[in-house]
Amino acid sequence: MWNRACDTDSKCIAEAKEYHKLRWEKTHMEPDFKEGDQVLVSTLNFNNLKGHNKMRDSFVGPFTII
């Protein structure tokens, strides 16, 4: 009985992994930056900026890809 439960768990985990992998691949798009492109960088996780979050710029840049 214990072996059957472990087999069922392993099967369910494998199915869940495959489902999430397919879903990720369906919705995720890799950025295709080329040398010379101009990009903006999000400041969402910048902790060293002064001032209130509400008043900060959401993005900094543009920066050139080298």
* Whether 63 and 36 share a structural domain: yes
pLDDT at 26: 92
Does residue 35 share a domain with residue 14? no
How far apart, in whole angstroms, are the C-alpha atoms of residue 49 and residue 10?
A: 46
The total of structural domains in the chain comes to 2
DSSP 19-54: HHHHHHHHH-------TT-EEEEE-TT--S--S-GG
Q: Which two tokens stand for residue 4?
A: 């059957």
Shared domain for 52 and 35, answered yes or no, is yes
Please report, rounded to a whole number, the percentage of residues in the chain having pLDDT higher than 90: 53
**What is the token pair recorded at 23?**
């879903």
SS3 65: coil
* Pair 26, 36 in one domain: no
How far is it, in rounded angstroms, from Cα 42 to Cα 37? Answer: 16
pLDDT at 52 over 80: no
- Containing domain of residue 55, as a range? 31-66
At residue 1, does pLDDT exceed 80?
Answer: no
| Band of residue 22 on the pLDDT scale cut at 50, 70, 90 | very high
3-15 pLDDT, tens digit per residue, is 888 888 899 999 9
- Average pLDDT for 26-38: 91
